[in-house]
Structure 1
Amino acid sequence: MYKIEHSLASGRIIVLLLYDEFYAWCDRNRFILNKNKTVVINFGIQKLLPIDISLHSDFELSPSVKLLGTYFDANLSYDIHIEYVCKQMNKAYFALLQLKSVLDERSILSAYYALAYSHMAYNIICWGNAVEMRRVLIAQKRIMRLIYNLLPTESCRPVFREKRILTLPSVYILKCVTFVSKNRHCFRTCSYYHSYSTRHGSLLSIPKHRTTYFKRSPYYNSIVLFNALPSNIRDIPGYSKFKAQVKKLLLDNVFYSVSEYLDFTNSTRL
């Protein structure tokens, strides 16, 4: 118990030192730290013990924060952000309900992309693999049923395919693999670690990790989704052509989950 208390005390000291250092840096560079918009979050996988961190009574320990339009919570579960996106999708639904009677299909789709798609696609590379993500997909399908007059029992898959509209999981997959394509210099292939040719030498190497928590990270999932692409698409050098081919794959095959995409790409290799 003494070791735990000593560790917590050391952690508080480190946080206080970092705060003083950052505050001094802002002062030297003529920046003013906005204390009203600054919060402290104790990020971590598990919270075994409560941690009381007090920074000169200026800030309080917060369970979440909104940064650049995305809500981050202490466990990085993104439940709060998904709740926010669902509310925006519901607002978009009722707005489209009012507009549907006065707009044609092209205009109503433009409204969909402005009112709904903009929220569900924003920073999805961070939260698109969260457990609660399916709630946003349900909200998206609800909007599709409204726009194209589908009954609750009718499937939306034919509409997504015919109208060339990406499902939420497909948007997530597209964002992840294009992130890799844009930043290939940040990733290493399996052949980098061998002086001889290997069967999977062209695939991206996954960093060693010890926790399942790492598998939820955008970096890990981007590699997995990119490696799952057919080789004729994965090896396309140009970004624009690569993105177009990936998007065609996702539009032709309407995926309702990442696992559907992985099962499909694995089956095409057999």
Structure 2
Amino acid sequence: MLNKAEYWFSANHLYINRSKTEKIVFTLRQLGNIENPLSVKLLGVHMQPNLCWDTHIEHIAGKINKHVFLLRNLSTCVSQEVLRVAYFGLIHSLLNYAVLAWGHSAVRVRAFQLQRKAVRVVAHLNYTEPCEEAFRTLKILTFPSIFIYHCLLHARTNIEQIVRNNDVHQYNTRNANLLRVPYVRLQKNQNGINFWSHKFFNKLPDSIKNLPIPLFKSSIKDLLIQKVYFNTQSFLEDEEILSVPG
């Protein structure tokens, strides 16, 4: 495999540094005698051959736990506003990074648990107290809402290239103008960006869908902050969204 890649690079007048190059085969099957790494780090994202994200969440969990300890120490000597700023620099940046790739995988549960732990520190709550109102007061997106936000922004940014239902049939149905949600057979495929970004975008009222991108971003963020979704299904089942003005 590496030889083939090297041949392609050479044919295109590019050089591949073998000492800095790793190979990985993405598959859900056993490869027999073919050597495959447990994970490969690319641009700060730990990718596994079976498309799971356990290694990645372990990596950021270690960082978040250290940062929560730092926030707890800071909470005794700085204001809540300073703590909030520290949260965004230390915690939010980790949860936000490449979230479209891993935000709906099984590790999302642990990511949200770690986030709630951090938010309770910022809000001066103990570990048993509810933190829903703290998210709203501090204007912090829950981890599910971070994923929803980036999915919606992805769909809105690429709206001209996305297939709609009326592109594949001529029937004038009420769903004709909705984005076409791709058919998926495997759960792994359902965790992909196009599946969820299309489903989430279809949930929005036209008054928000048609906003210019800068206004779209601010409207979506305000909506998600007020709603405080603890899972993505709550967003899909929220009938009040349809009446939200743009």
TM-score under structure 1 length normalisation: 0.83
The partner residue of 1:218 within 170, 178, 193 is 193
Q: Confirm or deny that 1:239 pairs with 2:220.
A: no
Letter in 2 for 1:45: L
The partner residue of 1:180 within 141, 144, 155 is 155
Q: Confirm or deny that 1:51 pairs with 2:19.
A: no
For 2:19 and 2:192, locate their aligned partners in 1 and report how far apart those are by CA, in whole Å: 30
Q: With CA pairs under 8 Å and 6+ residues apart, which has the higher RCO, 1 or 2?
A: 2
Q: How many residues get paired?
A: 243
Q: Which ranges in structure 1 are unaligned for 5 or more consecutive residues? A: 1-14, 54-59
For 1:214 and 1:71, locate their aligned partners in 2 and report how far apart those are by CA, in whole Å: 18
Give 1:85 shift: 1.6
Q: For 2:76, what is the secondary structure of its paired residue?
A: coil
For 1:55-94, what aligned pairs fall within 5 Å after superposition? 61-94=36-69
Q: For 1:66, what is the secondary structure of its paired residue?
A: strand
Q: In the superposition, relative to structure 1, how do residues 21 and 237 fare at CA in structure 2: closer, same or farther (>3 Å)?
A: same
Q: In the superposition, relative to structure 1, how do residues 238 and 126 fare at CA in structure 2: closer, same or farther (>3 Å)?
A: same
Identify the residue that residue 36 of structure 1 maps to in structure 2: 19
String of CA shifts for 1:205-229, please: whole Å, max 9, x gaps.
Answer: 1223333332111121111111122
For 1:242 and 1:252, locate their aligned partners in 2 and report how far apart those are by CA, in whole Å: 16
Letter in 2 for 1:124: V
TM-score under structure 2 length normalisation: 0.90
CA contact (8 A) 2:139 2:225 kept: yes
Percent identity for Structure 1 against Structure 2: 29
Q: Which ranges in structure 2 are unaligned for 5 or more consecutive residues? A: none
CA contact (8 A) 2:60 2:94 kept: yes
CA contact (8 A) 1:174 1:246 kept: yes
CA RMSD of aligned residues (A): 2.0
CA contact (8 A) 1:45 1:213 kept: no
Q: For 1:117, what is the secondary structure of its paired residue?
A: helix
Letter in 1 for 2:216: F
Give 1:265 shift: 4.0
Q: Confirm or deny that 1:23 pairs with 2:1.
A: no
CA contact (8 A) 1:40 1:61 kept: yes
Give 1:73 shift: 0.4
Give 1:93 shift: 0.5
Greater Cα shift, 66-75 or 225-234: 225-234
For the pair shown, which has the larger CA radius of gyration, 1 or 2?
Answer: 1
Give 1:36 shift: 2.7
Give 1:196 shift: 4.4
